[in-house]
Structure 1
């Protein structure tokens, strides 16, 4: 069994920024979370509102999902495959609120995913 790569995108409003920052610090303290990205101030890639990325393997999926649920923040959690569109749509799971309308035009075409080479290293 492989330990597949995953992303979580943690979304926040100005009112939720403090909660998002606290959750971000908690993720940084987890040894099985490989990377915690910077907090964006607005749109980044397909994400229309402020967010940050968390990179981890499937073995940490339950822990990451539980941390997100406990925070009350909205998030998109998805595997990282060769199909960026599917990752952010049919393969993704929304936690803590209504799904956002993502800008799907910014995603890589099937068979190519620029997120794979940067997994665990960098965000946008």
Structure 2
């Protein structure tokens, strides 16, 4: 059994496209105003394991009970991946992932290639 103490933080990846970018931008601004989060920049094309445009929101474990319910109620039609940071990117983005909206197909091969001690 794993302990919650191995979670050092959380990431929420908010996905959007050209038609929903304004919504995503508004949600990003509201997140920054309401919560103690670190806002990543908008990537208007796929990057890393992410199959479409997105930005990342990083937050501490103690912010989870505030940030995630707010995202659940205010995501509009956007798809959002929420995952812990445990030091295992592959597992964090797969087995430990929480999806709001549709589950997108991530490029797990990308994560496996950057995994520490990958063979």
Asked if TM exceeds 0.5, the reply is yes
Report the secondary structure of 1:15's partner residue. coil
Cα deviations across residues 30-52 of structure 1 (Å, max 9, x unaligned)?
3421x101111111100010000
Contact 1:85–1:110 (8 Å) recurs in 2: no
Q: What's the C-alpha RMSD, in Å, of the aligned pairs?
A: 1.9
Report the secondary structure of 1:14's partner residue. coil
Contact 1:4–1:79 (8 Å) recurs in 2: yes
Aligned residues: 110
Alignment of 1:91-110 (within 5 A): 91-95=96-100, 97-107=101-111, 108-109=114-115
Closer, same or farther: CA 83–110 of 1 in aligned 2, 3 Å: farther
Distance across 2 between alignment mates of 1:26 and 1:14:
20
Aligned to 1:19: 23
**Structure 2 portions without partners, runs of 5+:** none
| Rg larger in structure | 2
**Structure 1 portions without partners, runs of 5+:** 113-124
Q: Select the structure that is richer in helix.
A: 2
Distance across 2 between alignment mates of 1:90 and 1:47:
16
Report the secondary structure of 1:48's partner residue. coil
Contact 2:15–2:53 (8 Å) recurs in 1: yes
